[in-house]
Amino acid sequence: MISNLSAPFGPLVTAMVTPFGEDSSVDLKAVEHIVAHLIATGSTAVVVTGTTGESPTLDDNERKVLYRLVKEKAHGKIKVLAGVGTNSTAKTIKYAHLAEGCGADGLLIVTPYYNKPPQAGLVKHYQEIAKNTNLPIMLYNVPGRTSVNLGVDATIEIAETCSKVVALKDSTGSTDQTAEMAGKIKRKDFWIYTGDDYLTLPHLAVGGAGVVSVASHLVGRKMTEMMESFFKGDYDQARKIHYECLPLFKGLFAAPNPTCVKHALSKIGLCKSTLRLPLIPLTSEEQKKLEAIMEKSPIDVLNRL
């Protein structure tokens, strides 16, 4: 059985947006402001070039620049994970080497998408990657995006044959797999994070160690307080904060991520809402709904541009 304490990337990992200027180039100054903001509001690690970072639209040079800049601006205060997963094992290893060379502290590796490998193929995919990197790996299971579920048995086999695999981001939208895995796995040094903000508290209750979050761009302090309250046994306070933040947790996914969080960040002055196609901005009606939710949420407003 696993422990939900002493997780290697801390409890609050932010899946960081990649800010773009109006010309769609990476806005490096906004990157610096966002990293400073996340450190100040409780993030213990960030994921760069993940889904929230619009990784499918980034070229290799942009990845390199982002890894180096975020690592520099983290000042050793938070861990920097690189989202390097693709649906090619060889290409994923290439990106892992790139991130490692830029000083990343770990890797987030999504299950291969579109080509729908069997469970045995997923095991071999991660085993091959683990043999070709010195960095700790967080698996990423998000069947809603990849159309393949990394099952409990496959996850346990990967964890127990690859010492570099230290964590899982579970974005199945359920606590079922987390609970089953937490009870079955023999390793004590393997941690499970939820990838769904609204399930942070339920996941902690069944063995989760924390969250890889989008909402922490906006309510990092409250999320930290919620998890701290849970871990010290103040469940009433943890539930109170969960209820307070729940509308925002849900509202940030009313449109494909990171559409909503980028609009929200533009409203508090941290970056522009610019997206790269095929993502498009919120409609005026969607903006009004999100802004109404924000007005009632405990938003962290620090380090504005």
Active-site residue set: 140, 169
Phi and psi torsions of 61, nearest 5° = -70, -40
